[in-house]
Homo-oligomer: A and B are copies of this chain.
Amino acid sequence: MQLINKQFRLAARPIGAPKQSDWTFGETPLGEPADGEVLVKIMYISLDPAMRGWMSEVKSYMPPVGIGEVMRALAVGQVLASRHAGFAVGDHVSGMLGVQSHALVQGQMLNKVDPALVPLPVYLGVLGMPGVTAYFGLLDVGKLQAGDTAVVSGAAGAVGSVVGQIAKLKGARVVGIAGGADKCRYLLDELGFEAAIDYKAENVTAALARHCPQGINVYFDNVGGDILDAALANLAHGARVVICGAISQYNNTTPVQGPANYLSLLVNRASMSGMLVGDYLPRWGEAVQALAGWVMAGRIKHREDVVTGLESFPDAFGMLFSGENHGKLVLQLSE
């Protein structure tokens, strides 16, 4: 029986927000696994802001997706056939599997995951790349201490919601910045943040001044733009700013908006550091172990926003930039 693989390939480098014509959707016949390879039926595809960066022809931490190549994405799925000793038919796995219905990959690119422990999409969220990013970004780069005032932007998102919850577990006061009353209510009522700022309805600089009267000790930035400037205007002495992302800038057709308030770093003897989770591969297990413990104990909550159907990919991906998703955004391919 010949399997057919359905795939989204990058057709053009987007200018501004990605549009339908930047993709081609196609079908190709699938081969059998060669020695060392595994054939995976993809079940959930992770939609992450970082993917926007991979679509652009700029020097970055990894090469861009080539025109005509299958779009790069993390995913989880189930093994259909294996010629790698580490994986058997029926195993669940995660890896960089791409925006497609099936993946034929080297076994060493895969990690086994256990759907009995937590639902599969959680391996793309709290127990995956976003959770590990939050863990090391906050604790290793941001050097959060008990008693700190921590502020996180994109606070209802996959990374931000974990950042805030870890900060609380470590004894910090946490202020989240998110878009819309629903997300802010979620931060306060479900996640227990001390304060939530709706950037669509409030002056963020003034709200941060009100909620952080002693200044911000750790600011974890996922968004850039005006919100980064608002945080810089409210730093405490010796503050640490963690640059994890800048989703407000990824679809810019004009130059990136640099933080005009960067001299606050000087006035407050503060630092601003970039982080990439890929640097923490050797310590991945440390983060997952801590996160899994908290998730199992109900001390870290998580929310997934599941969109169904591979063909929904372009629209679903766009939700990240309009802020429509509530929680970790995943695409479900099979029920």
Closest to A233 in B: B59
Give A241-267 as 1s and 0s: 1 = Cβ < 8 Å from B's Cβ atoms: 001111001000001111111111111
In the assembly, what is the distance between CA of A61 and CA of B262, in Å? 14
Q: Which residues of B contact A61 (CB under 8 A)?
A: 266-267
In the assembly, what is the distance between CA of A271 and CA of B274, in Å? 6
Instruction: State whether the Cβ of A268 lies closer than 8 Å to any Cβ in chain B.
Output: yes
Cβ-neighbour of A269 out of B60, B260, B279 (below 8 A):
B279
The listed residue with most B CB atoms (<10 A of its CB), out of A260, A263, A276, is: A263
In the assembly, what is the distance between CA of A256 and CA of B267, in Å? 14
Q: Which residues of B contact A243 (CB under 8 A)?
A: 262-263, 265-266
In the assembly, what is the distance between CA of A246 and CA of B264, in Å? 12
User: Which range holds the interface residue count of chain A?
Assistant: 20 to 34
Stoichiometry (number of copies):
2
Closest to A232 in B: B258
Given A274-B268, A276-B266, are A229 and B245 neighbors across the interface (CB < 8 Å)?
Answer: no
Q: Which residues of B contact A260 (CB under 8 A)?
A: 255-258
Instruction: State whether the Cβ of A272 lies closer than 8 Å to any Cβ in chain B.
Output: yes
Given A271-B272, A274-B266, A274-B271, are A229 and B258 neighbors across the interface (CB < 8 Å)?
Answer: yes
- What's the least CB distance linking A297 to chain B, in Å? 32
Q: Which residues of B contact A276 (CB under 8 A)?
A: 266-267, 269
Instruction: State whether the Cβ of A151 lies closer than 8 Å to any Cβ in chain B.
Output: no
Q: Which residues of B contact A266 (CB under 8 A)?
A: 61, 243-246, 274-276
Q: Which residues of B contact A264 (CB under 8 A)?
A: 274
Contact A274 B270 (CB under 8 A): yes
In the assembly, what is the distance between CA of A55 and CA of B246, in Å? 34
Contact B261 A256 (CB under 8 A): yes
In the assembly, what is the distance between CA of A269 and CA of B261, in Å? 21
Contact A265 B261 (CB under 8 A): no
Q: Which residues of B contact A270 (CB under 8 A)?
A: 273-274
Closest to A271 in B: B273
Closest to A241 in B: B272
8 further interface pairs, Cβ-Cβ under 8 Å (given A60-B267, A258-B259): A229-B258, A243-B265, A249-B263, A256-B263, A258-B258, A259-B262, A269-B274, A272-B272
